[in-house]
């Protein structure tokens, strides 16, 4: 686990320079609408992602994981999604580990985090198609050993995803940011 966390942290820290401020009012309106879940169903996003993860787990002889409906964990995952738009890392903006975004009562069961940053083409708007977004995240995480290991880890029993859209001033474009939290209970 220490090796996995070390590799994940190393790869995540390589990305920086992200600002939540959008230069155009159209971008800001789109991002705000996406981020306040006016059109995106976080529940359906979780269901679609779990279908893909559990299909992969089954193919690898691993029991399925379930959706976390615990409000404390969902709120923490959402907070982490907001934070990775500012600091793309498993460390929070205050330099503490991702687990500290959650109440102390649930921290002992939180054992893994996958983070994702994916550009949105300048000619497209942020999609609210949960099936498309789940596939986008799953395919990106499947391509890296650390993220794939988290999705297939036998001790992980539940998960919760949160997603945001933010503008990167350095790259001059919008990005999807996602955080997938894994628990052992």
The predicted-structure confidence for 2-20, as pLDDT tens digits, reads as follows 444 333 333 333 333 343 4
Instruction: Enter the DSSP assignment of 123.
Output: T
pTM value > 0.85: no
Cα gap 94→24, rounded to integer Å = 28
Show the beta-strand stretches assigned E in the chain: 66-67, 110-119, 158-168, 173-183
Give pLDDT, residue 15.
32
Q: Which helix (H) or strand (E) holds 33?
A: helix 25-35
Place of tokens 């990167």: 168
Please determine, for residue 26, whether its predicted confidence score (pLDDT) is greater than 50.
no
Q: For residue 31, which of 22, 40, 41 has the smallest C-alpha distance?
A: 22
Is residue 159 within 8 A of residue 65, CB to CB? The reply is yes
Pick the residue with more confidence: 1 or 81? 81
Superfamily of the domain at 2-183: CAP (3.40.33.10)
The 10 Å Cβ neighbour count of residue 119 is 11
């Amino acid at each position: 686990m220490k090796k996995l966390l070390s590799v994940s942290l190393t790869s995540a820290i390589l990305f920086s320079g992200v600002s939540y401020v959008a230069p155009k009012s159209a971008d800001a309106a789109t991002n705000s609408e996406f981020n306040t879940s006016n059109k995106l169903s976080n529940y359906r996003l979780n269901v679609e992602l779990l279908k893909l993860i559990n299909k992969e787990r089954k193919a690898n002889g691993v029991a399925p994981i379930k959706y976390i409906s615990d409000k404390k964990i969902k709120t923490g995952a959402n907070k982490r999604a907001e934070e990775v738009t500012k600091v793309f890392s498993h460390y929070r903006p205050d330099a503490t580990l991702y687990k500290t975004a959650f109440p102390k009562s649930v921290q002992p069961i939180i054992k893994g985090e996958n983070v994702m940053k994916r550009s949105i083409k300048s000619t497209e708007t942020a999609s609210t198609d949960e099936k498309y977004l789940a596939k986008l995240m799953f395919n990106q995480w499947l391509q890296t050993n650390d993220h794939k290991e988290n999705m297939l880890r036998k001790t992980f029993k539940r998960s919760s995803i949160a997603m945001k859209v933010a503008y990167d001033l350095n790259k001059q474009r919008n990005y999807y940011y996602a955080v997938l939290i894994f628990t052992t209970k």
